[in-house]
Structure 1
């Protein structure tokens, strides 16, 4: 079957003056996509979903894309799915739908290009989280992902489109863990005269796996098509989110439906068998309440018959309500009044600023009871700021350690501003003590000793792999810690401008050069006794080697923080020297 690009364009009739909908994406020459993927090199392959091979690509302008490459003997079916995906992606635009970039043909192949999202699919993220025992997603992040998906589905349904392929492999996560829905090739457009909530009887699409745990059984057994098919699938994705385990791997899923399994555990008050224990539900009643509500919502979404299920607008309202409830009921710390915080900081006087960051400013404050605090004032109440505010509360309220700055509380929220109140540490930052706080250029009062989060130079601490790809990993912290180790032995900042050329110099790169050239002495601060004390010489050499290992690329070569800690304790005791590290 020969295909021409003008044939594709004339397939989209609409309301424009010439009766044709203009395609937003590009028609890519095949060679451009081949070059972007190194000729579809195996190293660029992100995986396979159904008949689609997915490849990472970078265009000449630096734009990162994912290319779906599809070929099949059933050309009519594939071509119809290809048209579906391009049509829906082209005419609908929503922040929680993956952005369509363009398409191409090549012999018997169909290629579709979408935006690249660095954290991959929800399915892959959850599986990796379990396999590598990664820190689990905070509850609020799970809720935000569910809300993002619900937003996308509600939007599609309002436009009369049934997605028909909702599963965790078609949910993509960007670097901020915002979710976007993909996989629109099996979508169906309801006829204009059919209500969004109506049910039709149709033949089952050949592209849908009938035994897939995400597929509505009523659609499989009776061909009942409606937006409630997507509601069912969304319910299964909720099961994935609350358990951190793909539903197909639930114990007993091979014998009965996921809905029956979940329903029985709810009825028997045995949700602990399916919920991820790392969320903290066993020790926090409020978390258990929210997780239970999400489980019950998932069960309602999978109800029989279809008419008993809520629509996606109702689902979205429930989730937003639970998020707000979670926000209001986060406890275990104080709720501070705006007037008290204002008074404690002398009306947020500029002289009280301890540091500046991407999300806000940190002020020194003294409360009426004499308690000294550090108050973070967020710049605005936009979505990203609110997410950051909630994430800090969600994570820090659960963590208590003598080496973590304590979170005392938050603002009441009545003044339409966001504040977090932290423990004040009078001795200030390591940066201030070893080379002055290069993030702050003006002179400061004596009490200004707290952390500076000024963005200038902070990229010097950032894992290059995270900076390039946005992929989250424990090993990124290991890299940053390695840079700090180099600061401690050199008394140099992580970033400076070379004089007189004004060139940017990163401590990590500088240290690597000195180590490889066997000129460690040129890196080390002469005031720490490197030349005069043999024990100091051995200790500094061991720390330098450890720091070198921490900043290795790729990240898989770096030690874990547990290994780093054991090594440092050995160095301190004199039982772990330079030769033992290598």
Structure 2
């Protein structure tokens, strides 16, 4: 790739085109480096352009696209649409260096990629042994998805996604090329919106049927075309093969093969899936993703940010595409409207503020918006990791994560289901709320324990940390001192919650003139045989014997949960079993150990 310094000798654009930041190349210089556009420098014809290789004396290699005279309006339209004004440098998009004109001819100059285009490699592999291994193909898919996600975030629809427009460098890293057919969505129009157009552009086999037949233009057109490219990577057969040789369209064919468990009939056997179970799993998941991308209607398809997440997950060994697709990427304007411009404040935590919202589909949501001071690269990476994990976890006692804002967004937000009764803390510690009866509190304890058991049993949840996080009064002292977290850290925190349910006290309370943690206070009172000092007075008077026995048993369980060192604590499965036994009246606490 050529550096900016190498282009300083050419003049800057003049007039209206100066906004484009393209350089004007003298036509004679381009003719010189291409040997007057000699056939030996011709890289091939691409639609209405012919491409030539050129190399300047300083070593800078370029590709020159010559537009047919009757098609030069396309380049002018590209400029008029101001696509390039929002076209920022990206590692997976071919860099445009400048342009030139000569009489009625227009020329576009961009970086040269030595490995040509993906279609040429797949075409050559039909008769030869496969040269591009599967993992490289998956990386090509990820690179391409990365570029399209970036374009879509900036409101740009490529409109001509196909393997011949995916160029490969010396290391087979992919870059998306030929944006001169792209369309920039009007300012203020949501990226996810659909428009009706009569200007239908694209290549046979790649074009979204709804765009072709109904004129529905949206970013989901590119998603469909990308699904076709995934099929090409899986099969080593170009889209035109399926058009010429199959009665069904590719999407229908792929879905039928998946449903009939005959997917292997579409896969290139030279890619090694027959002898490598991991490769077979990755290719199967990629095929399922391709089918998602080609769904009709458009609304059923994931957006490119979803697609990119799924591909990265496949590369890391997560093959469940169906669970990931449910996580929606919300746009800032969408959440702004849902929360009445964030005027529906509900509460505030250590990392962000929570707002009530109502989506256009009628769902009530809680929108968590991170504080500005927490918008660091580290917390953003953690934000992405947490949403990745939460999207894979579904349990009746876990608050559902509906989605998040784009990773490109300046404000990072999580969108959860809205729970109308608020938090347990509010009902236990705020005087405006009525007192929760013991049986309700006990059921809350069991449901919370069930959720924690589910999390601890999940393959997706790992316990790796260097800096203790959480509310101090709930944090396991072992974790706080050593920075080593484990599932027993949750057991400690749950023990504190049990003491809250029993006492109605906050996790940190005044004792004399000093603040002490509820766990310390309760442990000391129980050891001194003063359990009554821990229990909410309303349960001591007028309660029947069975309730007091349950409270006593739960207090003993909570005592065990907050033991140090952590090895003395029960597991969450043991805690849940003990609570279930207490409810049935068939299991005393001493059976937990």
- Figure out how many residues of one structure are paired with residues of the other and give that number: 313
- Can you list the C-alpha shifts for 1:306-344, whole angstroms capped at 9, x where unaligned? 0000000000000001111179xxxxxxxxxxxxxxxxx
1:126 equivalent in structure 2: 122
2:65 counterpart of 1:73: no
2:139 equivalent in structure 1: 144
- 1:193 corresponds to which of 188, 195, 214: 188
Contact between 2:19 and 2:85, CA under 8 Å: does it hold in 1? no
Counterpart-to-counterpart distance in 2, 1:140 and 1:82: 37
Deviation at 1:192, TM superposition (A): 1.3
- 1:219 corresponds to which of 192, 206, 211: 211
1:50 equivalent in structure 2: 47
2:309 counterpart of 1:317: yes
Counterpart-to-counterpart distance in 2, 1:122 and 1:248: 14
Distance 1:178 1:6, change over 3 A: closer
Deviation at 1:304, TM superposition (A): 0.4
Map 1:458-497 onto structure 2 (within 5 A).
Answer: none
- 2:258 corresponds to which of 243, 266, 281: 266
Deviation at 1:283, TM superposition (A): 2.0
Distance 1:186 1:6, change over 3 A: farther
- 1:157 corresponds to which of 142, 149, 152: 152
Structure 2 residue matching 1:203: 3-state secondary structure: coil
- TM-score, reference length from structure 2: 0.50
1:64 equivalent in structure 2: 61
Map 1:243-254 onto structure 2 (within 5 A).
Answer: 243-250=235-242, 253-254=245-246
Structure 2 residue matching 1:73: 3-state secondary structure: helix
- 1:107 corresponds to which of 103, 107, 111: 103
Contact between 2:45 and 2:51, CA under 8 Å: does it hold in 1? yes
- Can you list the C-alpha shifts for 1:446-470, whole angstroms capped at 9, x where unaligned? xxxxxxxxxxxxxxxxxxxxxxxxx
- 2:165 corresponds to which of 155, 163, 170: 170
Structure 2 residue matching 1:195: 3-state secondary structure: coil
Kindly report the root-mean-square deviation, in angstroms, between the aligned alpha carbons of the 2 structures. 2.6
2:24 counterpart of 1:27: yes
Structure 2 residue matching 1:197: 3-state secondary structure: coil
Distance 1:6 1:39, change over 3 A: closer
Runs (5+) with no aligned partner, structure 2: 1-9, 320-463, 466-593
1:286 equivalent in structure 2: 278
Counterpart-to-counterpart distance in 2, 1:199 and 1:242: 30
Structure 1 residue matching 2:126: 3-state secondary structure: helix
Contact between 1:145 and 1:179, CA under 8 Å: does it hold in 2? yes
- Can you list the C-alpha shifts for 1:377-432, whole angstroms capped at 9, x where unaligned? xxxxxxxxxxxxxxxxxxxxxxxxxxxxxxxxxxxxx99xxxxxxxxxxxxxxxxx
- Can you list the C-alpha shifts for 1:347-369, whole angstroms capped at 9, x where unaligned? xxxxxxxxxxxxxxxxxxxxxxx
Deviation at 1:284, TM superposition (A): 2.1
Deviation at 1:76, TM superposition (A): 3.5
Counterpart-to-counterpart distance in 2, 1:90 and 1:118: 27
- Highest RCO, 1 vs 2 (Cα 8 Å, sep ≥ 6): 1
Structure 2 residue matching 1:281: 3-state secondary structure: coil
Q: Which structure has the larger Rg?
A: 2
Deviation at 1:279, TM superposition (A): 1.2
Distance 1:123 1:193, change over 3 A: same
Deviation at 1:196, TM superposition (A): 0.6
Map 1:521-560 onto structure 2 (within 5 A).
Answer: none
Deviation at 1:104, TM superposition (A): 0.1
Contact between 2:44 and 2:50, CA under 8 Å: does it hold in 1? yes
Counterpart-to-counterpart distance in 2, 1:326 and 1:171: 26
Distance 1:224 1:253, change over 3 A: farther
Structure 1 residue matching 2:141: 3-state secondary structure: helix
2:428 equivalent in structure 1: none
- TM-score, reference length from structure 1: 0.51
Structure 1 residue matching 2:248: 3-state secondary structure: coil
Deviation at 1:73, TM superposition (A): 2.4
Distance 1:305 1:39, change over 3 A: same
Contact between 2:11 and 2:24, CA under 8 Å: does it hold in 1? no
Deviation at 1:75, TM superposition (A): 4.7
